[in-house]
Amino acid sequence: MARSLAVEDGTVVFRRSDGTVLPLHPVWLRERSRESDEFDAGCRQRLYDPWRIETAIRIDGVDTLDDTTAEVRFSDGRAVRFLLDWLDGELDPADALPPKIPWTAATHAPNVAVLQVLDTPTGMTMFLDGFLRTGLGLIRECGNEPGSVLRVAERFGPVRVTNFGALFEVRTTEAPTDLAYTALALYAHTDNPYRRPIPGIQFLSCLVNDAEGGESTLVDGLAVAQSLRSDDPDAFAALTTTGIRYRYDGDGSVLEDVGRMIEVDEAGEIQRIRFNPRVEYVLPAPPAALAAFYRARAVFGARLGDPAFEIRLKLEPGDTLMFDNHRLAHGRTSFSAAGRRHLQGCYIEHDGPQSLYRAGRSAVR
């Protein structure tokens, strides 16, 4: 059905391609002017402050110029042309990003690319599509020289430098004199829950992985949180309401943030998980409330390592993992044989890949 803009019974209405008819507020339409003296096509910003538009502005009439364009006459004396296709898009409240699809060990669809494929717009957009849906991607043939993780990450967005520097080392050898560098398993966790803001996306590049074991573990916290919401709503409620102080104190830094293990927005949608048992401190609360929370935490913790949810993969030299640190928890299995395992990691923020995806999609259209 053809799009159209018309005045009906004193109200301007837009008829969408799917046949729905939406009344429009005159200011909503007026402030979308793309006239060249009101909107800079280069920097794509308005050239005036829309909050100064007279809120009682009226529409005096609409003239359909052709199938694609209508001209609206406003009571401030301006006639403004609108492309109907573009206006249709403006009436769609959803972001153009693909939806997040929760996954389990049984339903996980691998998202793998070799680095060179990301040089092509289609290859990059397809990889990003998989990343935005699953929160995870594996990039192969990245090279295994020190620092290559930064060059891979910078294809997606500026590196988020922290007090640890631009990159961090995950160098694990069997040296039991130094507890921090044992070959112990590392349980599922999210990184840096004490930071403001929490780093959005993590990269881990493999330089060497000769050891037996030392597999990377990954679990979709969104899927785990959703499973709790449906089969243990009391646990879900406790985890979304109990305040936790996440704290890092070392090397002259004292980083703290208070949050929840499962964070939901006002519509109840799961926005983020924070799970890092080494640095979490439940705020003081009455023992009865804490009893409900501690039960819930034990269920959540166990499920984040449940083989029904967890996937494992062994990184090879030149492999880079990319995962959403607000959604996935990651860890590693222990390794017992002699051997070396050396990864390097860094962070970027969510807006980098999202911007790349949107720009890639609009280039394809």
The whole-angstrom separation of Cα 263 and Cα 78 is 46
Q: Determine which residue in the list 35, 67, 90, 210 makes contact with a second copy, applying CB under 8 A.
A: 90
Q: Determine if 130 is a binding residue for a second copy (CB under 8 A).
A: no
Q: Would you call 206 exposed, middle or buried from its count of C-beta atoms within 10 A (0-12, 13-18, 19+)?
A: buried
The 10 Å Cβ neighbour count of residue 181 is 15
Q: Determine if 20 is a binding residue for a second copy (CB under 8 A).
A: no
Stretch in the footprint of a second copy (CB under 8 A) among 71-79, 129-137, 210-218, 351-359 = 351-359
| Nearer to a second copy among residue 68 and residue 253 (C-beta) | 253
The angle subtended at Cα 188 by Cα 183 and Cα 192, nearest 5°, is 95
| Nearer to a second copy among residue 2 and residue 52 (C-beta) | 52
| Nearer to a second copy among residue 108 and residue 297 (C-beta) | 297
The whole-angstrom separation of Cα 115 and Cα 200 is 21
β-pair type (136-140, 112-114) = parallel
The whole-angstrom separation of Cα 235 and Cα 257 is 22
Q: Determine which residue in the list 74, 156, 203, 300 makes contact with a second copy, applying CB under 8 A.
A: 300
Q: Determine which residue in the list 146, 197, 233, 307 makes contact with a second copy, applying CB under 8 A.
A: 197
Q: Determine which residue in the list 283, 308, 337, 338 makes contact with a second copy, applying CB under 8 A.
A: 283
Q: Where is 353: in which H helix or E strand?
A: helix 351-364
Residues 229, 269: contact at Cβ < 8 Å?
no
Pairs from 69-75 (Cβ < 8 Å, separation ≥ 24): 70/4, 70/5, 72/5, 72/12, 72/29, 74/26, 74/30
Q: Determine if 257 is a binding residue for a second copy (CB under 8 A).
A: yes
Q: Determine if 233 is a binding residue for a second copy (CB under 8 A).
A: no
Q: Determine which residue in the list 66, 99, 196, 269 makes contact with a second copy, applying CB under 8 A.
A: 196
Q: Determine if 161 is a binding residue for a second copy (CB under 8 A).
A: yes
Residues 346, 169: contact at Cβ < 8 Å?
no
Q: Would you call 143 exposed, middle or buried from its count of C-beta atoms within 10 A (0-12, 13-18, 19+)?
A: middle
Stretch in the footprint of a second copy (CB under 8 A) among 113-121, 142-150, 336-344, 352-360 = 352-360
Q: Determine if 9 is a binding residue for a second copy (CB under 8 A).
A: no
Q: Determine if 362 is a binding residue for a second copy (CB under 8 A).
A: yes
Q: Determine if 175 is a binding residue for a second copy (CB under 8 A).
A: no
3 state SS of 178: coil
Q: Determine if 10 is a binding residue for a second copy (CB under 8 A).
A: no
| Nearer to a second copy among residue 66 and residue 119 (C-beta) | 119
Stretch in the footprint of a second copy (CB under 8 A) among 73-81, 145-153, 335-343, 357-365 = 357-365
Among 170, 178, 94, 108, residue whose Cα is nearest residue 138: 108
Q: Determine if 83 is a binding residue for a second copy (CB under 8 A).
A: no
Q: Determine if 330 is a binding residue for a second copy (CB under 8 A).
A: no
Among 65, 61, 67, 59, residue whose Cα is nearest residue 88: 67
Query: Rule CB under 8 A: which of 91-120 touch a second copy?
Result: 91-93, 95-96
Instruction: Write down the least CB distance from residue 112 to a second copy, Å.
Output: 25
Q: Determine if 268 is a binding residue for a second copy (CB under 8 A).
A: no
Q: Determine which residue in the list 9, 19, 55, 99 makes contact with a second copy, applying CB under 8 A.
A: 55
DSSP class of residue 168 equals: E
